[in-house]
Amino acid sequence: MRAGELVDDRFALEAQVGAGGMGTVWRALDRATGEAVALKFLRDPVGGNAARFAQEARILAAIEHRHVVRYLGHGLAPTREPYLAMEWLEGEDLAARLSRGGLTLEDSLSLVERAAFALGAAHARGIVHRDVKPSNLFLVGGEVTRVKLLDFGIARQPGALATLTQTGAILGTPGYLAPEQAQGEREVGPQADVFALGAVLFECVTGSAAFRGMQVMALLAKLLLEEPPRLIEVCADVPRELSELCHRMLAKDPGARPAHGAAVAEALARIPRGAALRAAPRHDAARAPIGTTERRLVSILAIAPPQDEPAGQDDATAPVAGASWKIVRDAVQPLGATVDVLADGTMLVVLAGAGDATDQAARAARCALRVHAGLPRAGMALVTGRGDTTERQQVGEIVERAATLLGRMRAHGSASGPVMVLDEVTRALLDTRFEVTESGELSVLVRERMLGEHPRLLLGRPSPFVGRDREMQRLLGFLEDAFEDRRAVAATVTAPAGMGKSRLRLELMGRLSDRVPNLAIVIGRGDSLGAKGGLGLLGSGLRGALGLEAGERPSAQQEKILSAVKRYVAGDAAERVAEFLGELVGAPFPDEKSPRLRAARHNAQLMAEQVESACLEFMRAVTRRGPLLWVLEDLHWGDPASVKLCDVALRELEDEPFGVLAFARPELHEIFPRLWAERHAQEVRLGPLSKRAADAMVSAALRDPAAARQVAALVERAEGNAFFIEELIRAAVDGRSDTLPETVLGMVEARLSALPLEARRLLRAASVFGDRFCKRETNSTRKNNIEQFQALRGYARPGRRSAGGDGGRCVRAIGGARAVLVADHRGRGFGTRCAWGRSYGGAEPDVGSFHRAPLRLQKAGPPSQVRRTRPSLVASAGVQAARGRGTAGL
C-alpha cells in the first residue's frame, strides 16, 4: 500500500496512521462524499483472521448509533487484503484522557451514559462487544458528550461460528474483563459489557483502575476473587445512587448486574446533574463502624497448566483441562479449599483463615502435595498473606506474589520438572515435618514426614533449647520411675501453639533414649482432618514404628508387619496379631486362608474387638522386652477411639513398663473431659518463657553486640512465645524490627478468634490508641462496650493509668489487633484518636512511632511520594476529626 492508491475506486489513500500485528490503519479520502475516512486493513487474512474481520464489518454495518463509530463499507483491496472503512475521528481516546487524571463527576456521568446507550443499541441486536475499555471509547474533539464506541473485532453476535474463538483464550483486556470472561467462558452475555463499563465508570470517577495488577494472572485472579471498593469509599462526594449502580455493574454474578447497556443508561439518566448533583445525598453516614471488619490469613496455591496441556483449549482439548480441574477439586475440597480456573489455564486454590496460622499453612502445604500427586507435571506456587473480611475478599497483594513466584519458578527451571515453590511466610509457618529444600533462591516443598526429626533452624542453626529444664526434669523423673517400677502411667503436656511443645518432645525423646535401656518409642500424630476417624491416631504411630511407606506394595507392607510382630509374639498368635494390626494401619492381609479375618470383615463389632485384642497383645509383648512409650502429638486432634484404646491399655498393662505421653493445646480438656483421670495422669502446662530464657534465646541468635539493644524490645513483644521470638529475630535480622511479621500476625489472629465477636471488634477499634487503652478511649470508637471491655481483661495485661482523666485503669491491647484492621478503618481510627486527644487536652498522637507500621496508603505511589504525602494525610485526618467527621459511622 502506498499513498495515492485507490481502493475500490472510492477511497484514496493519504497516509498510514497506525500499524499493529494484525494490520494497518490509513487515513483516506472518500471520493463519493469528499470526507476523510479511516481504512483498516487486515495484513494476514489466514485461518480465522479473515472470518473475524468480516464479522466485525457485518456487526458494525448492523449498528447505526450516534455514539458508535460509523460504518462506511468493506471489501478487498487490490493487494487482496480485506479492508473496513469507517468515519474519520479527530480527538483522543479515553485512555489518553485518563492518563492525565480522572474526570469530573459531571463528565463521568455524561460519558458513561452515552457509552451505555451505544452498548444498548448493540445489545438490542444480540451483539456483545466483549472488549469495552477506555482505549475503545473515543472522545471526538476531546469532548465527553461526543464519545464513540470503537473496535468490535472480538464482538459476538447470534449465529456466529463458535470456532472463531477458543475456550480458555483470553478475549478482552485484563482489568476490564467480566469474571466469566476471566474464567475463559465462551458464551457471555450483555452483562459482560456492563461489567466492563462499570470498570470504566469507576476509573473515570476515581482516576484509578478498579482492578490493577503487575501480571496478567494476578489481574485475572483479582477479577474472580476481589471486589473493588465502592465509589463512596474512594470519593466521599459521590451520590449514593451512583455508588450503588457502579457496585451492581461490577457484581461477580452476571445476574446481579443490570441486564444490558440500555438499563445502565436509564439508571444513569435518573441521577441528577448540575446543582442537583452537587446537592445529592452522600453516603458518609453508612460507613462500617471501626473494628467491624478485619484482615485474616489467606493462602493461595497457584497451579500452572501441566506442561503437556495447552493453555487455551478448543472443543477437542477442553476435556483435558476439565480433567485437571477435577483432579485439583477432588484433592483440595476435603481440606476446605475452593478452586477457580483462569482464562490462561492457571488454577487458583484459596484457603481462607480458620484456626491457627501454622495449621492453615499445613493445610495449604497438604493441598499442594495432594495436587502434585495428581498432576506431577504442573508447577505450583504457594503463598500466604492477609486479606480483609468485608463482603469483598481483598487478596490482591497475595495473588501478585503468587504470580511473581510462578514466573520465577518458570525462569529458574528444574532438571526434575515442575516443582512446588513456597513464599517466605508459608515456609516459616511450616514445621519440620514438611521437608523443604533450597533450589537457588526458591524454597521447594518436597514431602510431608510423619513427624519432624530435627528442631527448627534459626538463621541456619538449631534454635537453642532454653527455659524448659524444670518441665524436662519433671517428665524424665516421672517416666523413668514408672519404667523402673514396672507400672503404666500417662502424662499430658499442654500449651498454646508456638510455646515449644514439639521442641520439648524432641529433647525429651533424645534424653530418654540415652538413659532408658531397650526403650521402644511409638509416635502418633493427630490429624485435624481425621479427628473423628477410628483409631487414626494409634494407626499413624504404628505405621511409623513398622516402617511402612506410602505407595509401597501391599505385599511389602504385609511382610514388614509380620516380621515386626514375630520379633515379639511367638507361634501361631503372630499371624493373628499381624492380620489385625494390618487392618489398623491400612495394610489389609488377604483373607482366603484366614476364616477369622474373613468373619471379622463381615461383623464390625467383631472387627473392633479383634483389632483391640491384637493391639493390646502386641503392646504387652513389647513391654516384656523393655519399656514402651506411646507419644501422641497433637492429641487435641486425636480420635475418640484411639483415646479410649489408650485408656484400656493403661488399665490392662498397669503392671508393665508402659507409658502414654500426649502433647496438645489447652482445648484438649474441652474435647476430652477427664482425660485418663482414673489413671492418675500427670499434666505439665507450658507457660511463657521467662525473661531470662527469652534473653538467652535472642542473644544466642543475635551474636553481633550491636544487635544486643534489640533484645529487650524483642522479648517484650514476643510475650514468652518461642515461635514469636524466632520470627521476630528473623524480622530484626532482615531490618524489619518495627513491624510484626505475617507469621506472628497469623498466630495472634488465632488468639483473637477465641474472643467473642463484639469483644474482637472492640479490641480492633481500641487498638488505634496504641498498646494501651482505657474505657473512655474505647467509648470514643464503639458504644455500649462495657461487657466486652470486661471480657478483654483475661487477654490483656495491666498497664499505666489513662491520660483521659477518668482515672480508669488501662489494659495492654493484643499486639496484632491493629494490624488486622482494614486500611480504611486505620485511617479513620487515627482521625478519631486525634479528636479524642484534643478533647481531653492531650498531645497529638506520635505518628512516627504508632502508625509507621499499620498505615498503608491505597494509592501509595513511589516511596518518595509516600513520604511527602503522609504528613498531609495525617494532618487532614486530624482536621476531619476536629470537624466531627472522624467519628462518622462509629
Mean pLDDT value of segment 535-564: 90
**Which of the pair, 363 or 414, is modelled with greater confidence?**
363
Mean pLDDT value of segment 678-687: 91
Residue 846: pLDDT band (50, 70, 90) is very low
Mean pLDDT value of segment 770-795: 51
Q: What confidence score (pLDDT) does residue 355 get?
A: 66
Give the CA angle between residues 128, 131, 137 to the nearest 5°: 105
Question: pLDDT tens digit string along 503-515?
Answer: 999 999 999 999 9
Q: What confidence score (pLDDT) does residue 285 get?
A: 39
Q: What confidence score (pLDDT) does residue 803 get?
A: 45
Mean pLDDT value of segment 615-644: 94
Q: Quickly tell me which residue has 445529592 as its cell.
A: 280
Residue 770: pLDDT band (50, 70, 90) is low
Residue 594: pLDDT band (50, 70, 90) is very high
Task: Please check whether the two domains, 6-87 and 467-685, share a CATH topology.
Answer: no
Q: What confidence score (pLDDT) does residue 414 get?
A: 59
CA 308 to chain centre: 28
Pairing of strands 628-633, 520-525: parallel
Highest mean pLDDT (candidates 176-190, 827-841, 869-883): 176-190
Q: What confidence score (pLDDT) does residue 333 get?
A: 86
Report yes or no: 149 and 137 within 8 Å, Cβ to Cβ.
yes
Mean pLDDT value of segment 182-207: 91
Does pLDDT of 764 surpass 50?
Answer: yes
Q: What confidence score (pLDDT) does residue 254 get?
A: 94
Does pLDDT of 487 surpass 90?
Answer: yes
Percent share of the chain, pLDDT over 70: 73
Mean pLDDT value of segment 632-648: 93
SS3 167: strand
For residue 650, give every residue at least 6 positions away whose Cβ sits within 8 Å of its Cβ, in sequence order, or none.
488, 489, 490, 658, 660, 676, 679
Please check whether the domain covering 6-87 is classified as CATH 3.40.50.300: no
The DSSP call for residue 128 is B
Residue 339: pLDDT band (50, 70, 90) is confident
Domain segments of the chain as ranges: 6-87, 91-286, 295-454, 467-685, 691-746, 762-882
Distance CA 479, CA 658 (A): 9
Residue 14: its H or E element: strand 11-19
For residue 628, give every residue at least 6 positions away whose Cβ sits within 8 Å of its Cβ, in sequence order, or none.
519, 520, 522, 619, 622, 656, 657, 658, 659
Q: What confidence score (pLDDT) does residue 744 get?
A: 77
Does pLDDT of 422 surpass 80?
Answer: yes
20-34, 131-145, 236-250, 589-603, range with the lowest pLDDT: 20-34
59-68, 412-421, 597-606, 833-842, range with the lowest pLDDT: 833-842
SS3 539: helix
Q: Which fold has domain 467-685?
A: Rossmann fold (3.40.50)
For residue 585, give every residue at least 6 positions away whose Cβ sits within 8 Å of its Cβ, in sequence order, or none.
539, 542, 543, 546, 548, 557, 561
**Which of the pair, 229 or 777, is modelled with greater confidence?**
229
CATH number of the structural domain 91-286 = 1.10.510.10
Mean pLDDT value of segment 823-851: 48
Mean pLDDT value of segment 382-401: 72
Q: What confidence score (pLDDT) does residue 529 get?
A: 67
CA 804 to chain centre: 40
Report yes or no: 134 and 203 within 8 Å, Cβ to Cβ.
yes
Distance CA 352, CA 296 (A): 8
Catalytic one among 131, 344, 423, 824? 131
Q: What confidence score (pLDDT) does residue 575 get?
A: 94
Percent share of the chain, pLDDT over 90: 40
Q: Cell for 149?
A: 464506541
Does pLDDT of 889 surpass 50?
Answer: no
Residue 745: pLDDT band (50, 70, 90) is confident
Highest mean pLDDT (candidates 47-61, 270-284, 504-518, 750-764): 504-518
Strand (E) positions, 80-200? Answer: 82-87, 91-93, 137-140, 147-149
Q: What confidence score (pLDDT) does residue 253 get?
A: 92
Query: Does the annotation list 133 as a binding residue?
Result: no
Q: Quickly tell me which residue has 490462561 as its cell.
A: 344
Report yes or no: 189 and 182 within 8 Å, Cβ to Cβ.
no
Pairing of strands 461-462, 457-458: antiparallel
Please check whether the domain covering 295-454 is classified as CATH 3.90.105.10: no
Does pLDDT of 617 surpass 90?
Answer: yes
Mean pLDDT value of segment 137-162: 82
Average pLDDT, the chain: 79
Count other Cβ atoms within 10 Å, centred on residue 753: 15
User: Does the annotation mark 284 as catalytic?
Assistant: no
Q: Smallest Cα–Cα separation from 858: which of 196, 235, 177, 284? A: 235
Cβ neighbourhood burial of 415 (10 Å; 0-12, 13-18, 19+): exposed
